[in-house]
């Protein structure tokens, strides 16, 4: 009696055989998140790690991230921006302010001010000068607003009320 050996060999279809079948199209890649948005989110995450005691200080963060302490300080200084400016950077709300048009260096200059209303005015001036996409009425409002109210947040509210975010 002869022993019989059976093996299964998977065969790929040739191009000619597969031509009749519809190919699955890959989904388009998600839109790229601007660098300044990623850095803002990283700064918030780092601050949360420090607050929870996961790391002791900026030096620990620098060692974990393989960067210098000075670079960690630069990133962490983004948390000194006014909350509404951070919101715009994180969510880059359609047409209010395009974060891809902002450099981190420019925002560091805005964050050097302790007064949030001054930060808002400097950002509005920077946006106006560079033409980065903040609606002109919001820029005018920021220039004439001296009451301490958040002009950037007002522009965000107006954009949200008129824009479908879905």
Give per-residue pLDDT as tens, 111-143: 888 999 999 999 888 877 776 655 444 444 544
The runs of H, that is alpha helices, within 8-135 are: 15-18, 35-52, 58-65, 69-76, 83-91, 104-111, 116-130
Asked whether residue 121 is domain-assigned, the answer is: yes
Of the chain, the percentage scoring pLDDT greater than 90 comes to 34
Q: pTM of whole model > 0.95?
A: no
Count of CB atoms situated within 10 Å of the CB of 113 = 17
Asked whether residue 96 is domain-assigned, the answer is: yes
* Rounded distance between C-alpha atoms, residue 157 and residue 10, angstroms: 59
Domain that holds residue 154: 34-162
Domains of the chain: total: 1
* Rounded distance between C-alpha atoms, residue 18 and residue 144, angstroms: 66
pLDDT value at residue 165: 38
Asked whether residue 12 is domain-assigned, the answer is: no
Asked whether residue 1 is domain-assigned, the answer is: no
């Amino acid at each position: 009696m002869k022993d019989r050996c059976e093996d299964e060999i998977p065969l790929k279809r040739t191009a000619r055989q597969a031509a009749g079948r519809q190919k699955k199209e890959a989904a388009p890649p998600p839109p790229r998140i601007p660098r300044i948005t990623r850095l803002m989110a990283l700064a918030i995450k780092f601050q949360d790690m420090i607050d929870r005691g996961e790391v002791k200080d900026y030096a620990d963060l620098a060692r974990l991230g393989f960067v210098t302490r000075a670079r960690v300080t630069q990133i962490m200084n983004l948390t000194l921006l006014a909350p509404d400016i951070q919101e715009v950077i994180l969510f880059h709300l359609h047409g209010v302010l395009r974060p891809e048009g902002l450099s981190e260096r420019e925002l560091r200059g805005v964050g050097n001010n302790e007064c949030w209303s001054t930060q808002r005015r400097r950002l509005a001036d920077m946006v106006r000068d560079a033409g980065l996409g903040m609606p002109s009425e919001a820029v005018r409002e920021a220039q004439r607003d001296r009451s301490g109210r958040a002009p950037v947040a007002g522009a965000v509210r107006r954009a949200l009320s008129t824009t479908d975010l879905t």
